[in-house]
Structure 1
Amino acid sequence: MNVGHAIITAGMKGLGRKVTEAFLQKGHQVTVTYRNDRERADQLKNLYSDQLHIVQADVTNKYDVQTVVEKAVNQFGSVQYLINNAGPFIFERKKLLDYTEDEWDDMIRGNLDAVFYLLKQTVPYMREQRFGRIVNYGFQGANAASGWLNRAAFAAAKVGLVSLTKSIAFEEAEHGITSNMICPGNIIGDFKEASISESREILDKDTPIGRSGTGEDIARAILFLCEQDSDMITGEVMEVTGGLNVIHRFR
């Protein structure tokens, strides 16, 4: 895997934290965004002072998104990897008609529009160097345009992102750029920042392989997709679920 510069949105906690650490441990330079938790950002900065550039940004704001890339390029030069980890989520379960217009706008702007603006800013650099790797996040079953009860706004944005992921993969293939999507399974709580070895210590009867997914599982999959020799894999939606997605269960 060629050492380069990765932009990782919301890479300071949760699944993004393990992805950021994985890129840094491979020797990459990383620009990472955070929204509020500066203390956690500083903790990681202390470990990787020369490799890590931290930018505060709200991905629902297109001007913040554009500024992230400007600052990233000023810091490290070109961009080889774009990991769109950020994705606003409303934890309260409610039907579509109970969403406010502001909530709907936040879901669309943060999960779909932000990727558009980041692509507009980063793909020209990737074209110039004839190499680029784009990884977006979906949800389990997104590739089938599944509905998601009481999560309709988030699901609509992510399913739109599936089509965008595939479209940009086809359009930019001639420039050596790949675009793929990772769909995590049911990774919750502390498992988002856990290692695979930690998850193997706890039996998960609901997951076919017998353990919960972790942030490390997601990071490993993303690093694989970002390898130079992974160029045959583009426009794909990769489920990382431990087998949860392979059997349709009627309930």
Structure 2
Amino acid sequence: MRLMDKVCVITGGASGIGKAAALLFASEGARVAACDLSDEGLKELAIEGDGLAGAIDTYKLNVTDRDAVAKTIREIMDKYGQIDVLVNNAGIIKDALLPKMTEEQWDAVINVNLKGVFNMTQAVAPYMREKGKGSIINTSSVVGLWGNPGQSNYSATKAGVIAMAKTWAKELSHKGAQIRVNAVCPGFVMTPILETVPEKILDMMKAKTMLGRIGKPEEIAKVYLFLASDDSSYITGQVIVADGGLVM
């Protein structure tokens, strides 16, 4: 059990990669606090997670609400007395080409994907510093490395969470603290967003990928597991690309 007795907070934990990570972490013995806005998704997660080696608690949370974030983190600390892992996975898209992107589209994506990551980490970091140990994982994207037409807002946030990961890796390791911060950049992964994409577009995505297929959420979750576990105890400030050879 690679996460036995660890307490792991996962945002966006009710669907896609976040859900896969919550189930995988719990199967490895973790006590998972899965945070999401979807009541239905959280209920389904709780049912699927029942009987695993660890446990999954669900919390309805809007990561853009600083007061709600602080309250939820306090509740988790009151229950478990520690937070060992934070996976900043919550994210949204509102795509449009530059001339047509509205202020609402820009602000919504910035608030969830960038400010939400800041809010969660700022709330959790003091407890990790108290303990002197922890792992923080920021979900980025290959778009954050290379850009993508129609995603000015999304690519800006995904580049931003890489920069924050590198900054926090330096800040939080101050005075020898074993707090590690890394970013993961998935490529095309079959999340609920891609499930709505026409088959013709999916075929084009596959053709651009060296492995010739769309990734599975469980494959990215395994990267998270590595970074959450002590197997990666000497890895911090890094960007791990998991894209099947999309960008080479």
Q: Same fold (TM over 0.5)?
A: yes
Instruction: Return the match for 1:119 from 105, 118, 121.
Output: 121
The amino acid that maps onto 1:54 is: T
Residue number in structure 2 paired with 1:43? 44
- Tell me how far 1:10 sits from its aligned partner: 1.0
Aligned partners of 1:6 and 1:79 also within 8 Å? yes
Structure 2 CA distance for partners of 1:192 and 1:75, relative to 1, 3 Å:
farther
Structure 2 CA distance for partners of 1:26 and 1:191, relative to 1, 3 Å:
farther
User: Which whole-Å CA distance do the structure 2 matches of 1:192 and 1:68 have between them?
Assistant: 30
Does residue 53 in structure 1 map to residue 54 in structure 2? no
Residue number in structure 2 paired with 1:28? 30
The amino acid that maps onto 1:139 is: S
Once the two structures are superposed, residues 133-173 of structure 1 have per-residue CA deviations (whole angstroms, 9 ceiling, x without a partner) of 00011111524xx3321110111122111111101011112
Does residue 159 in structure 1 map to residue 159 in structure 2? yes
Q: Map 1:70-219; keep pairs closer than 5 Å.
A: 70-90=74-94, 93-143=95-145, 146-173=146-173, 174-189=176-191, 204-219=206-221
Residue number in structure 1 paired with 2:200? none
The amino acid that maps onto 1:112 is: L
Aligned partners of 1:24 and 1:48 also within 8 Å? no
In the superposition, the TM-score normalised over structure 1's length comes to 0.84
User: Which whole-Å CA distance do the structure 2 matches of 1:26 and 1:155 have between them?
Assistant: 32
Aligned partners of 1:192 and 1:214 also within 8 Å? no
Deviates more, 1:3-12 or 1:65-74: 65-74
User: Which whole-Å CA distance do the structure 2 matches of 1:67 and 1:172 have between them?
Assistant: 22
Structure 2 CA distance for partners of 1:189 and 1:110, relative to 1, 3 Å:
closer
Once the two structures are superposed, residues 65-120 of structure 1 have per-residue CA deviations (whole angstroms, 9 ceiling, x without a partner) of 22221222122221000001101211xx4223423322222111111111112111
Structure 2 CA distance for partners of 1:190 and 1:121, relative to 1, 3 Å:
closer
Structure 2 CA distance for partners of 1:132 and 1:94, relative to 1, 3 Å:
same
Residue number in structure 2 paired with 1:232? 234
Aligned partners of 1:65 and 1:114 also within 8 Å? no
Structure 2 CA distance for partners of 1:244 and 1:131, relative to 1, 3 Å:
same
User: Which whole-Å CA distance do the structure 2 matches of 1:88 and 1:183 have between them?
Assistant: 15
User: Which whole-Å CA distance do the structure 2 matches of 1:123 and 1:39 have between them?
Assistant: 29
Once the two structures are superposed, residues 32-66 of structure 1 have per-residue CA deviations (whole angstroms, 9 ceiling, x without a partner) of 11212x23322332343782211111222222322
- Tell me how far 1:235 sits from its aligned partner: 0.8
Structure 2 CA distance for partners of 1:186 and 1:231, relative to 1, 3 Å:
same
User: Which whole-Å CA distance do the structure 1 matches of 2:3 and 2:21 have between them?
Assistant: 16
- Tell me how far 1:191 sits from its aligned partner: 10
Aligned partners of 2:34 and 2:56 also within 8 Å? yes
Aligned partners of 1:15 and 1:192 also within 8 Å? no
The amino acid that maps onto 1:187 is: V
Once the two structures are superposed, residues 186-231 of structure 1 have per-residue CA deviations (whole angstroms, 9 ceiling, x without a partner) of 11356989xxxxxxxxxx5442123321111111111111222412
Does residue 64 in structure 1 map to residue 65 in structure 2? no
Following TM superposition, the consecutive aligned residue runs of length 4 or more in structure 1 with deviations greater than 4 angstroms are: 189-193
Structure 2 CA distance for partners of 1:148 and 1:175, relative to 1, 3 Å:
same
Name whichever structure is richer in helix by fraction.
Answer: 2
**How many residue pairs were aligned?**
231
The amino acid that maps onto 1:213 is: G
